[in-house]
Amino acid sequence: MYLEGSCRCGAVTFNCDAYAPVPYLRCYCSICRKTDGGGGYAINLGAHADSLEVRGAENLSVYSATIDGQPSPAERRFCRRCGSALWVSDPRWPELLHPFASAIDTPLPTPPQTVHMMLADKPDWICADIRDGDETHDGYPDLSLRDWHDEHDLLG
């Protein structure tokens, strides 16, 4: 699925082709929550890294988190003017790009279920909206973005 996205101030716009365009996966880890999730979580999509086209790339900045004292190779790109979180990539999986659903302007499909991950890291003040048919995981879910989309016949 062809996706267009942008930061809030418009200094950065981008497009990419997503194989996993359904915003079903909510991550409550502190990195997602603090960099892209005031409501408690961020939603990652799956796209092909080589399809990414960026306008205003000079306005990008990058954040790599420290996890358990170790620097993470994952690169979180955001607009240095307005702070909008845009996407995550990782040199260990150079073919993958994970845009945040919050940065996407193209209407996204409505997910048939929500998978809540990293709930062990969720502070008590966040009332996770867990509905019938949802999945909950303290850590990582069983299925990758690609496998979940494949199982639901929703590969984009």
Interface ranges with Zn ion (CB under 5 A)? 7, 9, 11, 27, 29, 32, 79, 81-82
- Among residues 3 and 85, whose Cβ is nearest to Zn ion? 85
Joined tokens for residue 65: 């988190």
- Among residues 18 and 32, whose Cβ is nearest to Zn ion? 32
CB of 153 to Zn ion, least distance (A): 26
CB of 118 to Zn ion, least distance (A): 6
Q: Could you list the beta-strand ranges (E) of 11-63.
A: 13-20, 25-27, 42-43, 46-48, 53-55, 60-63
CB of 55 to Zn ion, least distance (A): 12
Contact 96, 75 (CB under 8 A): no
- Among residues 68 and 132, whose Cβ is nearest to Zn ion? 68
Report the distance separating Cα 143 and Cα 127, nearest Å: 24
Contact 8, 36 (CB under 8 A): no
CB of 112 to Zn ion, least distance (A): 22
Contact 1, 51 (CB under 8 A): no
- Among residues 3 and 11, whose Cβ is nearest to Zn ion? 11
